[in-house]
Amino acid sequence: MSSFQMLKYQATKNKNIKIISSLCLFIFLYYLISSSNNNSDSNSLILENRKNSPYTYSDTNSLNKKKKKWFPENLPNNHISHYDLNSVKTTKNPLQNNEKILILSPMANFHLQYWENLLNLNYPRELIELGFILPRTLDGDKALKQLQIEISKIQNSKDDNIKKFSKITILRQDNDSPESQLEKDRHALQNQKKRRSQMATARNSLLFSTIGPFTSWVLWLDSDIVETPKNLIQDLTAHDKPVISANCYQRYYDENEKKNSIRPYDYNNWAESNEGLRLAANLPDDEIIVEGYQEIATYRPLMAHFYDPNGNINDEMFLDGVGGTCLMVKADVHRDGAMFPNFPFYHLIETEGFAKMCKRLGYEVIGLPNYLVYHYNE
């Protein structure tokens, strides 16, 4: 091929390359512009839809932003809290040592007398925390509304003469609740295992959600307790016992005698008997013994039957089972692992199982047969 032909070939080749390159560039630019318009239209449509939406949205360009840290940028110097549990005091004179009391009340129904009695306790409210747990039922909803109304009168008061509680916690149960709160249904023998198991779960949820590193004592006070001495906290802690229970009675009108009277209510405070041990030894592992029913004769000494109206209110009685109507517990007992078993524990459950667990941990359990608190009479 001559030099002239070679040059002509190169020129033609370069021209073809330029044409192809120009065509490719044109196609690329067209695609880019078209895509940009489509995205713009799409974004406009999204923004328009969001204007008409009841929901709020985060910034669509948030991925391009610097990710936020899971902790604040500016932490206070002392953001780590230290607690020495060895310095938490539980003494027979809690008021002198500013010991903090946690009062826990499972609540299915709200009784104004309960709340008024609570307000009449003469232990300083700034040293008292309250904890409540309510079922997710219609009765629970009603009780919650009533409770919140009464709490707001105290905690939101502008009157400096009205003392506020240190803290109040309200929980709603995340487990099943007893279907009926009628007294006859609550105490029916066939309902006891299921009902007591549900109650134990509620008590544990309340306890573990509220006890703090500064809590000295835990007072379990049923929301059906409508009358106690004003010195209740000081009276119970004065015995300086790990676990101590008051004797729960009920006021009623005696139709036969035609006068007001009192009668035992809580039969879960008892001392073990040989017959009770014999019955337990012959039961399957998943069966429980419940007290206060003629169908189950344990012949256990029941604290409710040891009340002496002329006796000393400070008289003590050793117990193997307790109720939860009015029960004072040193917080360290709970911290050591004593809880309310929602399963058969040595053939006991809930508060009676709690007493058994305390004794297995080496703590003594005491009752006060002549120290009365009163249950609401339905």
Spatial separation of the C-alpha atoms in residues 248 and 303, rounded to whole Å: 9
Spatial separation of the C-alpha atoms in residues 274 and 272, rounded to whole Å: 7
pLDDT at residue 55, rounded to an integer: 47
pLDDT at residue 262, rounded to an integer: 98
Instruction: Output the six-digit token pair for 285.
Output: 């592992």
Instruction: Supply the CATH classification number for the domain 89-375.
Output: 3.90.550.10
Instruction: List the pLDDT tens digit at each of the 378 positions of the chain.
Output: 555 455 455 555 555 666 666 776 667 666 656 555 555 554 565 555 555 555 454 454 444 455 555 555 666 666 778 888 888 899 999 999 999 999 999 999 999 999 999 999 999 999 999 999 999 999 999 999 999 999 999 999 999 999 999 999 999 998 766 555 455 445 566 678 899 999 999 999 999 999 999 999 999 999 999 999 999 999 999 999 999 999 999 999 999 999 999 999 999 999 999 999 999 999 999 899 988 677 888 999 999 999 999 999 999 999 999 999 999 999 999 999 999 999 999 999 999 999 999 999 999 999 999 999 999 998
Beta strand spans in the chain (E): 100-106, 128-134, 167-172, 215-221, 225-227, 243-254, 259-264, 317-318, 326-330, 365-375
pLDDT at residue 87, rounded to an integer: 84
131 and 171 Cβ atoms separated by less than 8 Å:
yes
Instruction: Choose among 243, 363, 366, 268: nearest CA to 323.
Output: 268
23 and 17 Cβ atoms separated by less than 8 Å:
no
Task: Say what the alpha-carbon torsion angle 35, 39, 42, 44 is, to the nearest 10 degrees.
Answer: -130
pLDDT at residue 243, rounded to an integer: 99
Instruction: Output the six-digit token pair for 258.
Output: 């035609």
Spatial separation of the C-alpha atoms in residues 180 and 173, rounded to whole Å: 16
